Amino acid sequence: MHIDAIKNGIVIDHISAGRAMQIYDMLSLDKLDCPVAILKNVPSKKMGRKDIIKIDCDLQIDLNVLGYVSPSITVVYVRDGVVAEKKHIGLPERLTDIIRCKNPRCITSTEQGIHHVFRLVDPAGGVYRCIYCDAKAEPQNR
């Protein structure tokens, strides 16, 4: 695979250095049977160092979770070898089953099969709270 020449796919750019594998796992990219390239510690003017993931196929997955892992991320959509769209993801309003509520008395802890849903309450600080019990989520390291 020539990593610069994606025909139809996406490039996940400006990932905070060291977080590419977390995103790889989160998006279950190991289940894809198309070429996936992970570039780590790429020099970046803006960020010092960054990670990049290139996926050479059409991907039908929710990419909003990416903003939670690394709010600096841009997703570049490539169609027929040219950039069709660039999208800055940012912090998602809601996280469903991305993080788990740690409150032992929360309904998500006491009952099975309930989605762990957190909402963004402070976009500047990146603070999320459980929609059931209002417990604060552990902040991500940036």
77-106 footprint of Zn ion as x/- string (CB under 5 A): ------------------------x-x--x
**Among 63, 12, 64, 59, CA closest to 38:** 12
Q: For the CB of residue 99, give the shortest distance to Zn ion in the complex, in Å.
A: 10
Give the Å distances, CA to CA, from 125 to 34, 39, 40, 71, 92.
37, 28, 26, 12, 13
Lateral strand order in the sheet of 48-55: 36-44, 48-55, 9-16, 74-79, 82-88
Q: Does 15 bind Zn ion (CB under 5 A)?
A: no
Q: Does 135 bind Zn ion (CB under 5 A)?
A: yes
Which residue stretch of 22-30, 38-46, 54-62, 126-134 sits at the interface with Zn ion (rule: CB under 5 A)?
Answer: 126-134
Q: For the CB of residue 92, give the shortest distance to Zn ion in the complex, in Å.
A: 18
- What letter represents residue 117's amino acid? V
Q: For the CB of residue 102, give the shortest distance to Zn ion in the complex, in Å.
A: 8
